[in-house]
Amino acid sequence: MNQAWISPEDLNRDPELVNDAQREFYELPILNDVATADQKPQAAPGRRDFLKYLGFSLGAATVAAACETPVRKALPYVVKPDSIVPGVATYYASSIVRGGDFCPVIVKTREGRPIKVEGNTMSPLSEGGTSARAQASVLDLYDVARLREPSGTMGDQTMSTWDDLDAAIAKQLAGGAIRILTHTEMSPSVHKALAMLSAKYSDVEVITYDPISSSATLQANSEAFGTAAMPGYHFDKADLVVNFGADFLGTWLSPVEFANQWAKRRKIAGKEGKDMSRLIQLESNMSYTGSNADQRVLIKPSEQGLAIAKLHAAVVGGNASGTLSNAKAEEAIQVLADDLKSSQGKSIVLSDSNNRAEQALIIAINRALGNYEATISMAAPSLQRQGIDADVVSLLQDMQAGRVNTLIICGDANPVYDTPEGAAFAEAIANVSCSIACTSMPSETQELCKITLPTPHALETWSDVNPKAGHYAIVQPTIHPLFNTRPLLETILGMAGAPESSYDFIMSTWEADVFPQQNKYASFQAFWDSTLHDGFALVGGQALPEAVSVPTSAGVTRPAGTELEIAYYEAMGVGNGSYANNPWLQEMPDPVTRVVWDNVLHIPLAWNGRNDFEYFQGLDEDGDLVNLTIGESATKLPIVRQFGQMQGTVAAALGYGRTGTGKAGNNVGASLYPALSRDADGNVMYFATDASVSRKVGHDDDFASVQHHHTMGVTGKDETQGGETINVDEKAVMTLGNGYQGGLTKRSILRQTNVDHLEEAIDHLKHEREHHQHLNEQTLYPDRTDFYGLGHHWGMSVDLSACIGCGACQVACMAENNVPIVGKREVMRHHEMTWMRIDRYYYGDVESPNVVYQPMMCQHCDNAPCENVCPVAATNHSAEGLNQMAYNRCVGTRYCANNCPYKVRRFNWLDYNTADLFPANENDPFDEATPYYADNLTRMVLNPDVTVRSRGVIEKCSMCVQRIQEGKLRAKAERRALADGDIKTACQTACPTGAIVFGDTNDPKSEVSKLNKDDKSYYVLEETNVRSSVGYLMKVTNRSEAINTTEA
């Protein structure tokens, strides 16, 4: 089976899918029938309705036309700041920090208003990359749910001013034990302030935990090296990565940094594939990093300990008793052990296991392989996870026993939601005489606290970060605080009796602690100025700690041998739950399952050797609801049938099911934190062996998966042609007859190969393209090479080997181009508006396939099929090769979307952005009185250089034409030729792996020209002669023949 597929239906050639895909537009609503979520789309309206709407629109148009032109005011500054020119963006180097997540960024502001974050290309960690979460952070700033005013009650006294609250808190603090609960806190200044607080009062304790923790690794490192820190990794130096389940490209520790490193060894120039690294993932579910792995070895969650022990035995020596349920995994581990031994000092073995003994074995393996200070560093460890799980349990016991007088909850810490003992926390919090929440967002825990001291968003305040030893970064304010908030740092300083502004305190901390560690700058001012400019400062590293202990395999998890095991993972978008109220992240499809706005249960499927699948429990449709029971906790979840999910295991994400945050995050999916349990060390186990799944108990009618939306290259059986295999979306176009296109089932959408077959694949691709080009020469289109050869011609190149499908580009595109979110129900109706989608295809072995992620946006074809069919010429071509879309000319026939072979055009079925004057057109995803975009606070995120589209028009990728125009103008004004790299699209700047390159294809020296001439480069659907401007580089994997990954 060489073909790629996207779903069981696709692989199965399901007639219903063929039928669905034939309809370009899933449902045609005339009414805004989404007002009530449980209401089904109405049947097609009758003649009377039509007349009603006609009458209404005529009347409305008349009223609108009769309106006088409003008097518009223009307000200049009283005293204009030197740094601001209205209409010109100002950029600040800063960092996006949330718990242990860290991303160095440049913040784009317009008229003092941050509207976009871009990667900081100077940062050695990210080199310009970002994550979807960092891209979406700017929307959190304008979240209407944010806490706006301080408030609190103490006894019978209700307070709402900082002075009153501070006075009451000062009195309270003197009264007894103070406990401070926080997620990983990376700010050295906050740590210093906490130390001052501890010094002032006698019984102060700071408890750090992470909702999805690496507690066991910290403990193991503490035992082995005397440093309770996570190691630093250098994936760019590793030839072979053996990974037991860690999602290091998506969510684990420092994904932006790791993705950047990893991609350096995955991008290959021309035919030179010998330096490519190899990633082998051992796991039960198709994790996000697993989907990017070269090979996956399936082991059950409870077998991970044994598997690590076996690898340890094979590499270091000794033996590990017991067998894995997958015999092929046993073999694979032996092969991997040999491979690892032959790449001494050039490999990484890692695991996300939260078992201390397992992590100790991982350390021993890496040490035996000589990987420390070669590919793994304890001299420059990461500080992005600091939480020790057991501490939370002892805090809870103290609270229950009434031993805590004051509890201060910092930032996103939300133990009522994100710990296994949430319910107990909720009760115990009443035993604390004063509970204080210092956070920016409402949460399940904040609701229960007596005092709330709102903190500003990271884009509103000064702060500092120390994500890695020797790496200090700064957080700069980019807007005046929107609400009556106070930074956590200032609150703690106030409590410690040394009130000072954040800025002054951070500066003095840096002068005292950071400045002396470096010798590049002689004066602190110069050092500080350079830090503010660059966004970070690098100072001398630490000495290599001494290794102290020898681990044994005692204490590793033993295989449970139960019928069904479940593994939990961190969702890409909502993370541990603190990002849940961000609709950009909620509407970003999960890269693997392609589901939005929901938590799903991944269930396995098995190829029965005939022409069909056997599904777990007979669940044969995505979105079927089942009851999931783990121990005593029961949850109802929709399912997806997941390729690569091991038999006897299921998986689901943590981070959903919030109830105490804003409208966007509440009641989305179900929370599985209550189902988590702890091991003997108090470390949370991210799997369970006592799971059971019921049969189908219903179907989620709003289940929104973009799997089958806007597909291309999906094949199916055509019953009218005697069950012949046809291309589904071509069928839609070719209902009149079976022409040349109708026969195209092997269209050039994906090209992939393994590195050992690279030469053959390139040769094959060359012949294939020659054939396409030969066909294309037989064209009736006039040759316009001369026309497009003048000036610029914009194009793009996407490296499928480097693309990891993280979704940062998709969110960046939404932020840059004012692309609206539409809500779960609208997505279910195929109405998502994203200009850029990331198609996920499986290929190879049906039960444990490989994955290709293909970012798909408008291809800006020079022979664009959409342009020919527009009756009003609303879409047409520019001399610079852009497929232009004039919204105000569009009358909404949608012919263009029908005729687009790439399915990248989006229609505004409703007024998602609240751009026009008619309330009946508006969309209301969260059942609120005011639609999501109607709030002036939310609208502050809109990019003023891009039109806000109204209902009834088509929109699509413009290749960030506003950035093109800006870049050209800058070059013209500076009287110089445009240089390659002057203009970068939003997706390009967001990409953590540099997979997307934009540029002028008329300039032979530009990077994009070179990439599009690479041997591996091809154009999607080149045979259709649309002459697209976006080249793709063939996906190359590095699979090992010696490892057999199929299930037993």
Partner 1 sequence: MMYKRLIIRCLNLVLVLGLSMPLWAQGNPDAGKVLFRNNCASCHNKNMVAALTGPALGGVQERWADYPIEDLYSWIKNSQALIATGHPRAVQVYNDNNKSLMQAFPALTDDDVTDVLAYIDGVYTGTYGAAAAAGAAAVAGGAEGSSSNNGTYYAIIIAFLGLLALILTRVMSRLKFLADKEAGLATQAPRSVWSILTSKGIISLLLFALIVFGGYTTVNNAIGLNRQQAYAPEQPIAFSHETHAGLHQIECQYCHDGARRSKHSVIPATNTCMNCHKAIKVGSKHGTAELTKIFAAAGFNPNDDTYIEDYGAMSEEEIEKIYKTWIQNNYIQENGKLDRKGDRITKDQWDGIKESLTSATKPQIQGPIEWVRIHNLPDHAYFNHAQHVTVGKVECQTCHGPVEEMEVVKQYSPLSMGWCINCHRQTEVQFTDNPYYSSYEKYHEELKDGTREGVTVEEIGGLECQKCHY
Kindly state whether residue 888 participates in binding partner 1, applying the rule CB under 8 A: yes
# binding residues, partner 1 (CB under 8 A): 52
Task: Kindly provide the residue ranges of all beta strands, DSSP E only, lying in 101-184, ordered along the sequence.
Answer: 101-110, 113-119, 151-154, 157-159, 178-182
Is 480 a binder of partner 1 (CB under 8 A)? no
User: Which of 240, 299, 815, 885 contacts partner 1 by CB under 8 A?
Assistant: 885
Mark the segment that binds partner 1 (CB under 8 A) among 52-60, 69-77, 670-678, 840-848: 69-77
Q: Work out whether 980 is an interface residue with partner 1 (CB under 8 A).
A: no
Say which amino acid occupies 437.
A
Question: Which residues 100-129 are close enough to bind partner 1 by CB under 8 A?
Answer: none
- In degrees, to the nearest 5, what angle opens at C-alpha 718 toward C-alphas 713 and 719? 160
867 in contact with partner 1 (CB under 8 A): no
- In the complex, the smallest distance separating the C-beta of residue 884 from partner 1, rounded to whole angstroms, is 4
Q: Which of 737, 929, 975, 1041 binds partner 1 (CB under 8 A)?
A: 975
Rounded to a whole number of angstroms, the minimum distance from the CB of residue 70 to partner 1 is 9
DSSP 471: E
Say whether residue 880 binds partner 1 (CB under 8 A): yes
Residue span binding partner 1 (CB under 8 A) among the ranges 38-46, 140-148, 515-523, 956-964: 956-964
* In the complex, minimum distance from the CB of residue 62 to partner 1, in angstroms, rounded to a whole number: 11
Beta carbons within 8 Å of 214's beta carbon, 6+ residues apart:
230, 253, 352, 354, 385, 387
Q: Which DSSP category does 515 fall into?
A: G
Q: What is the 3-state secondary structure (H, E, C) of 975-1038?
A: CCCCCCCCCCCHHHHHCCCCCEEEEECCCCCCHHHHHHCCCCEEECCHHHCCCCCEEEECEEEC
Amino acid of residue 54 = L
Examine residue 316 and tell whether it contacts partner 1 (CB under 8 A). no
Nearer to partner 1, 287 or 913 (CB): 913
Strand partners of residue 1027: none
Contact between 626 and 614 (Cβ < 8 Å): no
Q: Is 884 in the site for partner 1 (CB under 8 A)?
A: yes
Residue 260, sorted as left (phi over 0), alpha (psi -120 to 50) or beta, turns out to be alpha
891 part of the interface to partner 1, by CB under 8 A: no
- Judged by CB under 8 A, does residue 976 bind partner 1? yes
Tokens representing 777? Answer: 């020469």
Instruction: Pick one of 96, 139, 870, 882: the residue that binds partner 1 (CB under 8 A).
Output: 882
Question: Which helix or strand (DSSP H or E) is residue 93 part of?
Answer: strand 90-98
Site stretch for partner 1 (CB under 8 A), options 458-466, 559-567, 649-657, 954-962: 954-962
Candidates 345, 946, 952, 1015: give the one binding partner 1 (CB under 8 A). Answer: 946
DSSP string, 324-375: -S-HHHHHHHHHHHHHHHHTTTSEEEEE----HHHHHHHHHHHHHTT-BTTT
The total number of residues written for the chain in this structure? 1048
Q: Which is nearer to partner 1, 110 or 450 (CB)?
A: 110
Least CB distance from residue 966 to partner 1, whole Å? 9
The neighbour count for residue 25, using CB atoms within 10 Å, is: 14
Which lies closer to partner 1 via its Cβ, residue 622 or residue 880?
880
SS (H, E, C) 893-955: CCHHHHHCCCCCCEECCCECCCCCCCHHHECCCCCCCCCHHHCHHHHCCCCCCCCCCCCCCEE
Choose between 885 and 1021: whose C-beta lies nearer to partner 1: 885
Which region, judged by CB under 8 A, interacts with partner 1, from 452-460, 593-601, 611-619, 969-977?
969-977
Binding to partner 1 by CB under 8 A, coded x per residue (else -) over 435-454, reads --------------------
C-alpha 547/C-alpha 220 separation (Å) is 11
- Phi (first) and psi of residue 377, to 5 degrees: -125, 125
| Choice between 464 and 880, CB closer to partner 1 | 880
Shortest distance, position 908 Cβ to partner 1, whole Å: 14
Site for partner 1 in 988-1017 (CB under 8 A): 1000, 1002-1003
Q: SS3 letters for 181-237?
A: EECCCCCHHHHHHHHHHHHHCCCEEEEECCCCCCHHHHHHHHHHHCCCCEEEECHHH
Binding mask 520-539 for partner 1 (x = CB under 8 A): --------------------
We find the least distance from the C-beta atom of residue 889 to partner 1, in angstroms, to be: 7
- Between 548 and 790, name the residue whose CB sits nearer to partner 1: 790
Sole window of 26-34, 271-279, 539-547, 887-895 interacting with partner 1 (rule: CB under 8 A): 887-895
Distance CA(189)–CA(538), nearest Å, equals 17
CA 501 to chain centre: 34
Q: Does 65 bind partner 1 (CB under 8 A)?
A: yes
Instruction: Retrieve residue 534's tokens.
Output: 């660059």
74 binds partner 1 (CB under 8 A): yes
Among 337, 437, 670, 961, binds partner 1 (CB under 8 A): 961
Half-sphere exposure of 435 (CA within 13 A, CB side): 23
**Does residue 858 touch partner 1 according to CB under 8 A?**
no
Residue 59 interacts with partner 1 (CB under 8 A): yes or no? no
CA dist 310 and 625 (Å) reads: 38
CB of 748 to partner 1, least distance (A): 29
337 binds partner 1 (CB under 8 A): no
Q: Which residues of 520-536 are buried (b: 16+ CB within 10 A; e: fewer)?
A: eeeebeebbeebeebbb
DSSP state of 386: -
Minimum distance of partner 1 from residue 965's CB (angstroms): 7
Q: Does 785 interact with partner 1 (rule: CB under 8 A)?
A: no
Select 40 or 975, whichever has its Cβ closest to partner 1: 975
Cβ proximity to partner 1, 74 vs 522, nearer residue: 74
User: 3-class DSSP state for residue 688?
Assistant: strand
Least distance from partner 1 to the Cβ atom of residue 983, Å: 13
Q: Does 948 bind partner 1 (CB under 8 A)?
A: yes
Q: Is 80 in the site for partner 1 (CB under 8 A)?
A: yes
Does 77 bind partner 1 (CB under 8 A)? Our answer is yes
Q: Which stretch binds partner 1 (CB under 8 A): 73-81, 449-457, 473-481, 845-853?
A: 73-81
Among 558, 972, 1005, 1013, the residue binding partner 1 under the rule CB under 8 A is 972
DSSP 750-784: --EEEGGGHHHHHHHHHHHHHHHHHHHHS--SPP-
Name the segment binding partner 1 (CB under 8 A); options: 49-57, 101-109, 293-301, 975-983.
Answer: 975-983
Contact between 886 and partner 1 per CB under 8 A: yes
Q: Could you tell me the strand order of the sheet in which 434-438 lies?
A: 157-159, 151-154, 451-452, 434-438, 406-410, 178-182, 204-208
Rounded distance between C-alpha atoms, residue 941 and residue 820, angstroms: 11
Q: Pick one of 962, 981, 1010, 1015: the residue that binds partner 1 (CB under 8 A).
A: 962
937 binds partner 1 (CB under 8 A): no
Nearest to 959 by CA among 1038, 866, 868, 885: 885
Binding piece for partner 1, criterion CB under 8 A, among 176-184, 425-433, 677-685, 782-790: 782-790
> Regarding beta strands 794-799 and 996-1000, do their DSSP bridges make them parallel or antiparallel, or are they unpaired?
antiparallel
Comparing CA positions, the residue from 729, 688, 697, 687 lying closest to residue 710 is 729
Identify the three-state secondary structure at position 279: strand
Q: Which is nearer to partner 1, 552 or 884 (CB)?
A: 884
Complex with partner 1: residue 71 or 780, whichever CB lies closer: 71
Q: Which stretch binds partner 1 (CB under 8 A): 80-88, 359-367, 398-406, 632-640?
A: 80-88
Q: Which residues bind partner 1 (CB under 8 A)?
A: 65, 69, 71-80, 85-88, 786, 789-792, 876, 878-880, 882, 884-889, 945-948, 958, 961-962, 965, 968-969, 971-973, 975-978, 1000, 1002-1003
